[in-house]
Structure 1
Amino acid sequence: MNAHQLVSFRKPLALIAKQLPKPVGSEVLLRVVAAGVCHTDLHVQDGGFDLGAGRLLDFKDRGMQLPLTPGHETVGTPVAAGPDAKLQLSGNYLVYPWIGCGDCPVCLEGDENLCAQPRFLGVHRNGGYADHILVPHPRYLIDIGNLDAPSIAPLACSGLTAFSAIAKLGDAIKDSPVLVLGAGGLGLMAIALLKSLDARGAVVVDVDEGKLQAARAAGAIAAVNGRADSTVQDITRALGGPAQLVIDCVGSTESARVSLDCLGKRGRIVIVGLFGGSAEWPLPLIPIKAACIQGSYVGNLRELRALVQLAQDGMIVLPQVSKFDCCAVNDVLGRLRRGGITGRAVLVSET
């Protein structure tokens, strides 16, 4: 099999021929049909997250070993399975990549994505930037039926991340519009889901005019330029008052500042973006506003199954994806790093 592997941090991926793995136990081997390209893959390539103030969350200290095949938004067709895997070798399946140890209390509660000893596909174990992927158990496979594989692949990360963040806002989304910071692939997914879930809608902020146009086309109530001197006033005007609900799809020093500046009393901020940096909040404003600031990290398997079911039921409109040949992975990663991808990019196999 061929795999695009990270051999050295901060270097392009290398195409490497590897022996096709033979599944044992409950493992399932799938031929990759589509693999989404995510901003998290840039952090994997860089070897960590910028924590601000010169600090780095180093993936090497978190169990990442090279060489590694990135890619955590994967749709594939089963071609072989171990003797303990009960699965039909046909059809297309979305792979849930946020796999934990399986034994700790967090995993046993169903929140493997929050496990302290993760085995994430594409981060700790080989992922979908290859012609085959090995999945440890069929429970991590979600049958997508006749749904379009490249359109469904991003649900494993950007779709799930947006869906889980929206769920944390509860029924309030039906009463107040949501301020969405960032109109990249994650932000556009949030707009589409809010629209599909019969919410009041989204006011979107970005610094790129092309992405603001994409947000408007996706159904945003308003799209605000984050570089303007009047950004906070423009946001407040578009919302009809201070923000009560915020989803920060960027997670930068600047987006954190805008979030709190716009937030009304008893407002809620859910941060999902991993751009990096540190927050420079005036701390007295957090109790004065009775602000709730919550992190949300991808989502659990139950949530992904529910999201795919909504897609199968025709309840959500998926954003358009840009398809690229799987051999163009380094070019796509470079374009993503430069901000040259609007929406989601997906690698597709030649066959």
Structure 2
Amino acid sequence: MKTIVCDEPHRLSLVERPMPERAAGEVLIRIARVGICGTDYHIFAGNQPFLSYPRVMGHELAGHVVAADPDSPLATGELVTINPYLACGTCVACRKGKPNCCTQIHVLGVHTDGGMAEYLTVPESAVVRVPGLTPDQAAMVEFLAVGYHAVRRGDTAAGDRVLVVGAGPIGVGVALFARLTGADVTLTDTSAERLARACDIVGVEGVVVDAGIRDTLAARTDGDFYDIVFDATGNVRAMEAGFGFVAHGGSYVLVSVVKDDVTFADPEFHKREMRLIGSRNALADDFAGVIAAIAGGQVPTDRIRTHDFALDEAPARFPELIAGQASVLKAIATV
């Protein structure tokens, strides 16, 4: 089968690999779509903290069931997506119902080879049914579930003043689902082009990040700042600056992850009695919530997908997508 391998930073190869053999309890899936994620760009660039090379990327997946156990409820040919967070089921996090932060987690395309290939086998527990969705929509469920999970982690509610920093795919997902809770959402980004497109898609107001951003945000909130701030930048300086945008008694949710240490002023943190919250991956309930929202017409998936290409073209297209990040929201490869 054709497979795209990231051999090392900045080098992708199209290679032939043997088809995977399905074991009992697993499902063989013919991959149809692969969404390209910020994590994939970070792997390509060499700055993803949880990875060793070579690696087959791809964790935003849609495909069709080829084979499963005889007693499986999955039908041959059925369109599905995949929950790529493969958890051990027994560690302290799993016992608490938090497999998204399992101590032994293996994320497809990060810790273990993912779906940039024609076929993939995964445990049946990782297969998610997507009734009513198209292949493109099914490939968007995972990254939107990350935003959905972050909104839930922040206990976001109607009337909250919310600031989302970073107008990439994850930031758009956070802003979208925060708005659907009834929150008053503001989106920020360093790129005016990326910000304008994201705000238009989500239906929220935006502020371009510049040297005077703190004063601008203070003026927009009568000096109170924001009840909940979400960082979706993957930039340590932006993450550190975000502490200053949180209202007294507010919460700061770090959705993005960086290799660096993140520092903050403890007196400011304590006097605001700020909650600092990590948000990692997503849970089954988040996948279900996103699928329902897409099926209900609440997510403009046709506008979120901005680029598409054949998976074979990935070695040539990745540098182009990275160079044109201001115009790229979600690229999806067809297998």
After TM superposition, the score normalised by the length of structure 2 is: 0.90
| Residue in 2 that maps onto 1:327 | 312
User: Does 1:182 pair with 2:181?
Assistant: no
User: Does 1:230 pair with 2:204?
Assistant: no
Distance 1:58 1:80, change over 3 A: closer
Q: Specify the code of the residue in structure 1 equivalent to 2:57.
A: P
1:185-264 matches, within 5 Å, as 185-195=169-179, 197-227=180-210, 229-240=211-222, 241-264=224-247
| Residue in 2 that maps onto 1:120 | 107
Q: How many angstroms does 1:246 deviate by?
A: 0.5
**8 Å Cα contact 1:26/1:83 also seen in 2:** no
Q: How many angstroms does 1:275 deviate by?
A: 4.7
User: Does 1:347 pair with 2:333?
Assistant: yes
| Residue in 1 that maps onto 2:119 | 132
| Residue in 1 that maps onto 2:36 | 37
User: Does 1:72 pair with 2:59?
Assistant: yes
User: Does 1:308 pair with 2:291?
Assistant: yes
Q: How many angstroms does 1:22 deviate by?
A: 2.2
Q: Distance in 2 between matches of 1:46 and 1:69?
A: 14
Question: SS of the residue aligned with 1:88?
Answer: coil
| Residue in 2 that maps onto 1:53 | none
**8 Å Cα contact 1:24/1:81 also seen in 2:** no
Q: Cα RMSD over matched residues?
A: 2.2
Identity %: 21
Q: How many angstroms does 1:287 deviate by?
A: 0.4
Question: SS of the residue aligned with 1:147?
Answer: coil
User: Does 1:18 pair with 2:14?
Assistant: no
Distance 1:106 1:275, change over 3 A: closer
Q: How many angstroms does 1:113 deviate by?
A: 1.9
Deviations for 1:118-137, whole angstroms, at most 9, x for unmatched residues? 2221123321111111112x
**8 Å Cα contact 2:80/2:138 also seen in 1:** no
Q: Distance in 1 between matches of 2:184 and 2:313?
A: 36
**8 Å Cα contact 1:4/1:130 also seen in 2:** yes
Q: How many angstroms does 1:305 deviate by?
A: 2.2
Q: Distance in 2 between matches of 1:315 and 1:213?
A: 20
| Residue in 2 that maps onto 1:59 | 51
Q: Distance in 2 between matches of 1:178 and 1:26?
A: 42
**8 Å Cα contact 1:250/1:275 also seen in 2:** no
Distance 1:154 1:275, change over 3 A: farther
Question: SS of the residue aligned with 1:293?
Answer: strand
Q: Distance in 1 between matches of 2:326 and 2:204?
A: 24
5+ long unaligned stretches in structure 2: none
| Residue in 1 that maps onto 2:133 | 147
Q: Distance in 1 between matches of 2:177 and 2:300?
A: 7
Which segment drifts farther, 118-127 or 181-190?
118-127
Distance 1:47 1:342, change over 3 A: closer
Q: Specify the code of the residue in structure 2 equivalent to 1:185.
A: P
Q: Distance in 2 between matches of 1:220 and 1:86?
A: 39
**8 Å Cα contact 1:106/1:112 also seen in 2:** yes
Distance 1:341 1:34, change over 3 A: farther
5+ long unaligned stretches in structure 1: 50-56, 61-65
Q: Distance in 1 between matches of 2:70 and 2:268?
A: 58
Question: SS of the residue aligned with 1:284?
Answer: helix
Q: How many angstroms does 1:281 deviate by?
A: 1.7
Distance 1:239 1:342, change over 3 A: farther
Q: How many angstroms does 1:276 deviate by?
A: 4.7
Distance 1:253 1:6, change over 3 A: closer
Q: Distance in 2 between matches of 1:343 and 1:118?
A: 27
Which segment drifts farther, 39-48 or 177-186?
39-48
**8 Å Cα contact 1:222/1:238 also seen in 2:** no
Q: How many angstroms does 1:85 deviate by?
A: 4.5
**8 Å Cα contact 1:91/1:145 also seen in 2:** no
| Residue in 2 that maps onto 1:5 | 5
Question: SS of the residue aligned with 1:265?
Answer: strand
Q: Specify the code of the residue in structure 2 equivalent to 1:168.
A: R
Q: Distance in 2 between matches of 1:324 and 1:209?
A: 26
Q: How many angstroms does 1:26 deviate by?
A: 0.8
Q: How many angstroms does 1:187 deviate by?
A: 1.2
Q: How many angstroms does 1:82 deviate by?
A: 4.4
Q: Distance in 2 between matches of 1:181 and 1:127?
A: 28
